[in-house]
Structure 1
Amino acid sequence: MEEAIFWTLIILFFVYGMIPWICTAVLGFGVFRKSPSCHEVAFTFDDGPDPRFTPKLLDLLKKYNVRATFFVLGSKAEKNPELIRRMNQEGHLIGLHNYVHRTNWLMTPWTIRRELDRSASIIEQITGVRSIYYRPPWGLLNLFDFLLRKEFRIVLWSLMVGDWRSKGGSDKIKRRLMHKIKGGSIILLHDSGETWGANPDAPLHTIKALEDVFLDLSHRGYTCVRIDQIPPLGKQKLASEVSWKKKVMVSIWLKWERVFNWLFHIHPIDKNHPFLNVRIRTYWGKTVQLSDGEKIQRGDRVLELHFNNEVLYNMGIHSRSSIQLAIQMIRTTEQLLPKTLPIILNHPNYEKIKALYGVSMIYRGTKQFGFIVNDLPRGPFSFFTKIYLRLLMSVVHPQGKDRLQNKVEHLVPKMMVMSTKELMRRYPIENL
């Protein structure tokens, strides 16, 4: 039981935190990371305002007539309203960085929303302007943060030079910035050294380095602008670009699945035709009454079925239509399903394996093989399974995005169960 809880928590963490991180930080979906401009760059500063360093930074920005964006913590803005007021008066953009510097992975969606609203209200009371720009601490988003896009513009970065550490001093920061800045860069820097992992005096080195950097950028013909002065990336994408992103998403997902299969000891029914994978596990759900009189109860052993999504993806991209893909899947399942019986019979405690069991959104047609199809009981497992499988559909299915937009009401995961007795009845051992 403890092992099941542990792995359930691992899966929930992956869905809640890692998938959004892959989608945003790695692939850039749903966030603003880089401008298409060839002549503009945007300097952004996190973790302030800081009464020790922010005034020095504002003096430098004013000296070189640079407009920047500050992603501030609401708690610090509350304590230093004069610095927020000065940022606004000198033409800088003020964004939000939560109320305190805490990762969204360790907070509930309603806590994040409450902190953002509180921080936005503090800024609005000081400046009269309510900010719509948001950068989560460490750039880490959770699954529900995508809902914030209705009200906030999520901004990450394209260039980070590790300026929160003092090692290497201003020369290291200056060298990295001058070497890596190019048109359209959104640069992440810090005007406070109080965050976990940062050195308290690190902003001094950043400010010193920027003196030379601003001069260098001016000579190179770059203009430093605020985030809201950069034209957003267009919605229209070239087909080749979309195809490239799709390939990257699929590649990342399939690498994760290989790790997942290794962790949970999932292996193919037939190594020569690896469309269906299986593992033997303990069933922890509610009692399921089967049509042949068998009951699957908590604590029973089952053979759990999994599609090989790499094979499924390759089937999809080479199919002329969804109907052809469905026919291929049915025929392949028909060939492989009887091969589950030797796996069961060769297990040391085969008599304790009560059923074949699976959860999927691809369940139509499974009744013809002897499965019963039930709704998943409402609860956390059902909720997170639906989110996980819809993400899987959007990534792996060739028309996944369109299906999510047009047929979302049909994309509900179902539980499919067939007793071992029914399997043996349908596929007698002498026929194998």
Structure 2
Amino acid sequence: MKERLLFTLVLIIGIYMIVPWIATRIFAIGVFRKGKLSSQVALTFDDGPDPAYTPVLLDLLRRHGAKATFFVLGSKAERYPDLIERIHRDGHQIGIHNYSHKSNWFMSPWTVRRKQADRSADIVASITGTKPVVYRPPWGVLNVFDLFLLKSYTVVLWSVMPKDWRSRVGRTKLKSRLLSRIREGSVVLLHDSGDTFGADADAPGYMLNALDEVLASMKQRGLEPVRVDELLNSSLKHRLGLFKRVLVNAWMAWERCFVKLFHLKLVDIGNPLVKLRVREYQGRQSIVLPDGEQIRKGDLVAEMHLDNYTLFRLGIDSRSSVQLATQLIRRTRMLMPEISKLLLTDPQYQHVKGLYGITMIHRGSKQLGFTVFDLPNGWFARMTRTYLRLLLYVVHPNGKERLKEKTNLLEPKIVAISKNELKIRYIA
């Protein structure tokens, strides 16, 4: 009898707590946690508003021209209506984070809906005139009934969580985490208050210092900080078909395996377009560069690989292959000084003769100092052509149509630049 009661209790707990956790946190069922096909990023801030930190944060966002979403506690909205009014006036989105910072696991579903979510939404609406439509549960946990009773809200979780509620993380580590994890479409979880259970009171100060530098870096990477509703609308507009989604996911999985298998090194965490590896040049014909440098079979080169995930994201906003090439040239130009520094100072690249790659997107590379060569005819050229065309089909949302546009311009070429030319152009 006791065993049966224990089993029943465990089953009820599992259905009430664990099932929705698996559904939302692992499979993203019924929640929004990451944008699709967008160069936008949603910065979100929980647990406020806070009279010490929220005004500073709002000043920071205004200085960078950034928009964000604030998931506020209803109890704090009651205490600080002026802050709620300013968040709204500054053009940010206001969402709900319950009336008090309590877990939905330990409340009845009707309490969550009426006394936490709806009560908080009514408070915000009375201040701003606009009722919130997005909701984030404390600690990101829902009970099973929330999936049905909170249908009037879009439940928003996150894809980047740098754990900024801990002071020991500090500004430097927090900045590094954000720069390495933020990608196009990310939903970033941050906190503008440190007075909730488990948080350090001074932690938001470190977050603000790190965020100032992160926002500057995001601008350089072409990432736009937006509200959650803007990211959500952009994601719906660019939604892919099932076959393309499966193909893209499979290709990105192959990309991750390739990077690990061949030990590719990222040049810049903040601009993850280019990865490098040292290898022997295997071409049948020597490459003779304008400055007299020759790369023969067996010579070491730094082989350049473009990150397929970044290509995919850039392709989303490109109206044509020409525009995509323009964006690639711009981003590569930003990386060239760092690439040059690696080849000239890092012992790993001590014996390489230059930078080398094979690409179909080679227009404009000459302005960066590269020399463009035809790929010698043969089986390797045919395989490379097939591979790169398949890559373009995958990474561009309209890849099939792009392959029909001026196919003579989609021939793979060798691009190369000597180490000495890199030094003259980007170091000296």
Q: Please give the range of the TM-score, normalised by the shorter of the 2 chains.
A: 0.5 to 0.7
Question: Is the Cα–Cα contact under 8 Å of residues 37 and 230 in structure 1 kept in the other structure?
Answer: no
Q: CA deviation at 1:7?
A: 2.2
Which letter maps to 1:134? Answer: Y
Q: Deviations over 1:191-213 (max 9, x none)?
A: 11111111111000000101100
Alignment of structure 1 residues 24-423 onto 2, 5 Å? 24-114=24-114, 115-232=116-233, 233-234=235-236, 237-238=241-242
**C-alpha distance 236-82 of structure 1, shift in aligned 2 (>3 A):** same
1:149 Cα deviation from its structure 2 partner = 4.7
Tell me if the contact between 2:96 and 2:117 (Cα under 8 Å) persists in the aligned partners: yes
- Whole-Å separation in 1 of the counterparts to 2:17 and 2:111: 16
Q: Is the 8 Å Cα contact of residues 70 and 94 (structure 1) preserved in structure 2?
A: yes
SS at match of 2:189: strand
Q: TM-score, normalised by structure 2?
A: 0.55
Residue 90 of structure 1 aligns with an amino acid whose one-letter code is D
SS where residue 167 of structure 2 aligns?
A: coil
Q: Deviations over 1:64-91 (max 9, x none)?
A: 1111000000001111101000000001
Q: Identity of aligned pairs, percent?
A: 49
8 Å CA contact 1:47, 1:195 repeated in 2: yes
After superposition, give the CA deviation of every residue in 1:31-65 in whole Å (9 maximum; x if it has no partner). Answer: 11111133110100001111111111111111111
Question: Residue in 1 aligned with 2:340?
Answer: none
| Structure 1 residues 65 and 244: alpha-carbon distance in aligned structure 2, compared to 1, 3 A threshold | closer
Contact 1:84/1:123 (<8 A) preserved: yes
The residue type equivalent to 1:215 in the other structure is: A
State the shift of 1:5 in Å. Answer: 2.1
Count how many residue pairs are aligned between Structure 1 and Structure 2: 245
CA contact (8 A) 2:45 2:190 kept: yes
Distance in structure 2 (CA, Å) of the matches to 1:49 and 1:147: 28
Which AA in structure 2 matches 1:220? R
Aligned twin of 1:276: none
Contact conserved, 2:97 with 2:137, CA < 8 A, in 1?
Answer: yes
SS of aligned partner of 1:160: coil
Residue 153 of structure 1, CA deviation: 0.6
Amino acid paired to 2:65: N
Question: Is the contact between residue 113 and residue 150 of structure 2 (CA under 8 Å) also seen in structure 1?
Answer: no
The separation in 2 between residues aligned to 1:209 and 1:19, in whole angstroms, is 36
What CA distance in whole angstroms lies between the structure 1 residues aligned with 2:38 and 2:179? 16
Q: What one-letter code is carried by the residue in structure 1 that aligns with 2:161?
A: M
Quote the offset at 1:237 in angstroms. Answer: 4.8
* Residue ranges of structure 2 left out of the alignment (5+ in a row): 250-428
SS of the residue corresponding to residue 163 of structure 1 reads: coil
Structure 1 residues 303-325: Cα deviation after superposition (integer angstroms, max 9, x where no partner): xxxxxxxxxxxxxxxxxxxxxxx
Instruction: Report if aligned partners of 2:163, 2:169 keep a CA contact under 8 Å in 1.
Output: no
Moved more, 128-137 or 234-243: 234-243
Secondary structure of 1:44 counterpart: strand
- 2: CA distance, partners of 1:194 / 1:4: 42
Residue type of the alignment partner of 1:71:
F
Q: For the structure 1 residues 39 and 15, does the alpha-carbon distance in structure 2 shift closer, same or farther, using more than 3 Å as the test?
A: same
- Compute the displacement of 1:243 (Å): 12
Secondary structure (helix, strand or coil) at the match of 1:159 reads coil
Task: Give the direction of change, closer, same or farther, for the CA distance of 1:169–1:151 in structure 2 (3 Å limit).
Answer: same
CA contact (8 A) 1:46 1:71 kept: yes
Aligned-partner residue type, residue 242 of structure 2: L
Distance, in Å, in 1 between the alignment partners of 2:248 and 2:6 is: 35
Q: Kindly provide the CA deviation profile for residues 237-257 of structure 1, in whole angstroms up to 9, marking residues without a partner as x.
A: 515868999xxxxxxxxxxxx
C-alpha distance in structure 1 between counterparts of 2:119 and 2:106, whole Å: 18
8 Å Cα contact 1:173-1:209 kept in structure 2: yes
Distance in 2 between the 1:140 and 1:90 partners? 30
Structure with bigger gyration radius: 1
1:10 is paired with a residue of what secondary structure? helix
Q: Distance in 2 between matches of 1:17 and 1:24?
A: 11
Unmatched 5+ stretches in structure 1 = 246-432
2:248 and 2:15 map into 1 onto residues whose CA distance is 23
Work out the CA distance in 2 between the residues paired with 1:242 and 1:183: 19
Q: Structure 1: how far apart are the matches of 2:13 and 2:245?
A: 30
Deviation at 1:3, TM superposition (A): 3.1
2:2 corresponds to: 2
Please give the TM-score of this superposition, normalised by the length of structure 1: 0.54
Q: Secondary structure at the match of 2:118?
A: helix
